[in-house]
């Protein structure tokens, strides 16, 4: 399923957070949004999973404008992991994951063996099956993140929208989660702060700055020293990962870059 944003603008309290933004995610592609804090990544994703309504432009799933379909219909196609997906009530982990099945049930419907099997598999895929009977409120931040990913998988979406999915996860679970996302074979649009993870796991990247797209393309084309200095304000040394060949970034600040030659000249 393709995802297209066509000249989307979002205005809140008189200020444009995103303006005239267009992007395309092809079916089965994993696309990352990267950029500094406040650049518009979460705002862009909010338009796709429908917590925000664009002031202008359109969001399309396979050419169908989301404004013309019900929330239930779009929830059968698209699942989201948000940064504010908190659960305040004392549900078990199994109950939280089962929420992902709600778009597929009729009114007053109940979970059957098929639904339970889907939920069990989702928990296994994120290495959280052992948490099934635990209270969600007793979990660590990383455990909660894995349960929320399982909930999204239980929805069986054709499009997955992820806002900082590696938050709170240790290194092992970061890599396992992103590997799983790639193996799903579905359309994925996600925001990531970690540029090395974005470079390793995304087919293409869009770089946002000030609510605008300033670069797009494969990670090797987009993540240049010039762009990283201009957008993020850091100096980057780019090397190839010895096993995968993906670009990996080593950072220092512009101040360090200036100070080092000055220190060497003084010696």
CA atoms of 213 and 19, how far apart (whole Å): 9
Query: 187-191 and 30-34 as β-strands: parallel, antiparallel, unpaired?
Result: parallel
Asked if residue 227 and residue 163 are part of one domain, the reply reads yes
| Segment 166-182 mean pLDDT | 93
Confidence at 265, pLDDT banded by 50, 70, 90: very low
CA atoms of 179 and 188, how far apart (whole Å): 12
Assigned domain for 253 exists: no
Give the pLDDT confidence score for residue 110 in this predicted structure: 65
Asked if residue 144 and residue 40 are part of one domain, the reply reads no
CA atoms of 58 and 55, how far apart (whole Å): 9
What's the distance, CA 151 to chain centroid?
15
Give the pLDDT confidence score for residue 134 in this predicted structure: 97
Dihedral sign from CA coordinates of 129, 134, 137, 141: negative
Count how many domains the chain has: 2
**Structural domain that includes position 132:** 88-155
Residue 62's CATH number: 3.40.50.300
Asked if residue 124 and residue 30 are part of one domain, the reply reads no
CA atoms of 101 and 20, how far apart (whole Å): 35
Asked if residue 123 and residue 59 are part of one domain, the reply reads no
User: Which of residues 123, 155, 187 is at a domain's end?
Assistant: 155
User: Which of residues 129, 155, 181 is at a domain's end?
Assistant: 155
CA atoms of 74 and 94, how far apart (whole Å): 24
Contact 213, 21 (CB under 8 A): yes
Assigned domain for 261 exists: no
Residues pairing with 245 in the sheet: none
Nearest to 175 by CA among 200, 138, 154, 155: 200
Dihedral sign from CA coordinates of 185, 189, 192, 198: positive
Confidence at 193, pLDDT banded by 50, 70, 90: very high
Contacts of 166 (CB under 8 A, 6+ apart): 174, 177, 178, 192, 194, 197
Asked if residue 220 and residue 118 are part of one domain, the reply reads no
Give the pLDDT confidence score for residue 9 in this predicted structure: 97
| Segment 61-78 mean pLDDT | 94
Contacts of 140 (CB under 8 A, 6+ apart): 168
Assigned domain for 262 exists: no
Query: pLDDT by residue (tens digit) across 112-160?
Result: 899 999 999 999 999 999 999 999 999 999 999 999 999 999 999 999 9
CA atoms of 32 and 48, how far apart (whole Å): 14
User: Which of residues 116, 131, 155 is at a domain's end?
Assistant: 155
Q: What is the pTM of this model?
A: 0.90
Assigned domain for 206 exists: yes
Q: Round the average pLDDT of the chain to a whole number and report it.
A: 91
* Weakest mean pLDDT among 81-90, 146-155, 220-229: 81-90
φ/ψ (deg, to 5) at 265: -70, -30
Assigned domain for 101 exists: yes
| Segment 58-82 mean pLDDT | 94
* Weakest mean pLDDT among 82-96, 149-163, 176-190, 205-219: 82-96
CA atoms of 79 and 160, how far apart (whole Å): 5
Residues above pLDDT 90, as percent of the chain: 85
Asked if residue 188 and residue 59 are part of one domain, the reply reads yes
Contact 234, 61 (CB under 8 A): no
What are the start-end ranges of the E strands in 3-106?
A: 3-12, 15-25, 30-34, 56-61, 64-65, 78-81
Length of the chain: 267
């Amino acid at each position: 399923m393709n995802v297209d944003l066509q000249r989307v603008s979002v205005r809140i309290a008189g200020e444009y957070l995103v303006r005239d933004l267009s992007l395309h995610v092809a079916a089965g592609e994993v696309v990352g949004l990267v950029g500094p804090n406040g650049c518009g990544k979460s705002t862009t994703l909010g338009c796709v999973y429908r917590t925000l309504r664009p002031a202008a432009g359109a969001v399309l799933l396979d050419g169908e404008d989301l404004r013309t379909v019900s929330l239930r219909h779009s929830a059968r196609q698209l699942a989201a992991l948000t940064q504010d997906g908190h659960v305040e009530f004392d549900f078990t982990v199994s109950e939280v994951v089962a929420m992902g099945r709600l778009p597929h049930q009729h009114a007053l419907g109940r979970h059957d063996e098929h639904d339970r099997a889907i939920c069990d598999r989702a928990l296994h895929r994120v290495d959280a099956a052992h948490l099934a009977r635990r209270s969600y409120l007793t979990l660590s931040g990383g455990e909660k993140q894995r349960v929320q990913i399982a909930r999204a998988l239980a929805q069986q979406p054709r499009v997955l929208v992820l806002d900082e999915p590696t938050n709170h996860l240790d290194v092992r679970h970061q890599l396992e989660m992103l590997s799983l996302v790639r193996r799903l074979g579905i359309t994925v649009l996600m925001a990531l702060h970690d540029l090395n993870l974005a470079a390793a796991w995304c087919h293409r990247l869009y770089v946002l700055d000030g609510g605008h797209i300033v670069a797009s393309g494969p990670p090797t084309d987009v993540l240049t020293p010039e762009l990283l200095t201009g957008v993020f304000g850091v100096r980057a040394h780019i090397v190839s990962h010895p096993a995968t060949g993906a670009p990996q970034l080593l950072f220092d600040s512009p101040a360090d870059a200036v100070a080092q030659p000055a220190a060497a000249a003084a010696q």
